Amino acid sequence: MKKIGIVGATGYTGVELLRLLVTHPDVEISHVTSRSNVGTRVDAMFPNLRGFVDLEFSDPSIEALAQCDLVFFATPNGVAMKHVPALLEAGTKVIDLAADFRIKDIDVWSKWYGMEHACPDIVAEAVYGMPELNRDLVKSARIVANPGCYPTAVTLGLKPLVEAGLIDLNNIIADTKSGISGAGRQANVGTLLSEAGESFKAYAVQGHRHQPEIAQTLSLLADTQVGLTFVPHLLPIIRGIHATLYVRTKTNDNRQNSDESSLQSLYEKTYKNEPFVDVMPPGSHPETRSVKTSNMCRIAVHKPSDNQVVVLSVIDNLVKGAAGQAIQNMNLMLGLDETTGLMQPALLP
C-alpha cells in the first residue's frame, strides 16, 4: 500500500480527495493536516467520512510528510512552494492542486498571484498534470501541477481543433460557468445562498487567474501564441463547470476537413482511448448533472455555420477539475492503473 498525505484537507477539494481515496484499493491515507484544526477528528468535521477515516488533523510536519510516498497540497496559492523542495529532497512525490507550479513564466505568475515565487527552479521541472496532454511525463514526474477547473474544461474541449490546425487561433472565446463550490469553503458574502441563489452573473471580466494558464496550454498545443477571450460566470448550483467555446475555422479551403461529421470524427478519434473523456453523439448538449461527482468530461461539437464551431464541455469542478484529476495523476505517478478509484458513475438526480 502506498502511503498518502494531504496538506490542507479542510476545504472542498481536500474532502473530495478524502472521499475518493478512502475506497482506493492501493493507497493508505497516513497524514491529514490542518494547522488550525490539529487534534480534531476528520470525521467530526466531515461526517460523511465517519467509518471511513479514523484520523485526526495533524500539524503539517515535513518530517512526517516525508514518510509518505506522495503528498497532495490542497492549500491556498503560495503554500506548497514553501514546502515542496524539502519533500522532493526526501524522495516524496508531490501533487499541488493550487497554482504554484502551473505557469512557467515566473513574472507572469507573480503578476497574477501577487507574490514572489519561493522555488522558481522547481517550476521548470513541474509537469502540468492533464493526462490527456502529458500522460508519459506525469508517469515519470516528481512534482505535478494539477490544472485548474476552468482550464481543464476549456483545454479538453479545444484540444482536437487546436492540434489539427483547423481554427483561427487569434480569436478563441471561452464562455464558462462554475458552481459556487469553485469559490472554496471559506465564508464569503457573495457565495451565501441568499446572495447567489436564483441569480446568475459574470465576474473577473477584466482578468481571471485561469486566463494565462489556459493561454499557456493552448499556445503549447498550437506551437504559437493564441488570442483568448475568457469570461467566467457564477452559477447558482453547488458543483459543475459548463464551458461554451466559440471558434472559427481558418478558411473555406478547410471545409472538407471541418464539416460537422468530420469534426465529430476528429473528436472521437482524439479521445477514443481516453477513459475520462466522453465525446457525445452529434447534436448533443451535455449537462453538468451528467458528470456530478464523477471524473468524466463530456464534450459535444457543433457547427452552426460554415466557419463557426461551438464546443460544449462539462466537468465536475471538484473532481475532474480538481481532486479526481489529481488522483488520476497520482495513479500514473505511482505506477497504478490510471482509472483506479475513479470509475464511479455520476450522481443523479
The terminus-to-terminus CA distance of the chain in angstroms comes to 35
- Which residues does residue 301 pair with via DSSP β-bridges, in sequence order? 311
Question: What is the distance between the alpha carbons of residues 71 and 66, in angstroms, rounded to a whole number?
Answer: 8
337 DSSP assignment: -
* Structure-block grid coordinates of residue 279: 465525446
| Cβ atoms within 10 Å, residue 43 | 17
Dihedral (CA of 285, 289, 290, 291) sign: positive
pLDDT at 228: 97
* Structure-block grid coordinates of residue 314: 462539462
- Closest by alpha carbon to 160, among 121, 142, 133, 184? 133
Place of cell 492503473: 337
The pLDDT tens digits for 45-60 are: 999 999 999 999 999 9
Place of cell 482506493: 24
pLDDT at 254: 52
pLDDT at 190: 85
The pLDDT tens digits for 163-204 are: 999 999 999 999 999 999 998 888 789 888 888 889 999 999
| Cβ atoms within 10 Å, residue 213 | 26
Left, alpha or beta for 23 (phi > 0: left; psi -120 to 50: alpha)?
alpha
Task: Give residue 68's identity as a one-letter amino acid code.
Answer: C
The answer for residues whose C-beta is within 8 angstroms of residue 243's C-beta and 6 or more apart is 150, 153, 154, 157, 174, 175, 176, 177, 311, 312, 313, 314
Question: What is the distance between the alpha carbons of residues 343 and 347, in angstroms, rounded to a whole number?
Answer: 12
The answer for residues whose C-beta is within 8 angstroms of residue 220's C-beta and 6 or more apart is none
Residues of the chain under the 70 pLDDT cut: 252-257
Residue 297 catalytic? no
pLDDT at 17: 98
Residue-range domains of the chain with CATH: 2-125 (3.40.50.720), 150-317 (3.30.360.10)
Catalytic option among 68, 119, 149, 297: 149
Dihedral (CA of 112, 117, 122, 124) sign: positive
pLDDT at 187: 78
The answer for residues whose C-beta is within 8 angstroms of residue 330's C-beta and 6 or more apart is 4, 27, 70, 72, 95, 336
Task: Give residue 120's identity as a one-letter amino acid code.
Answer: P
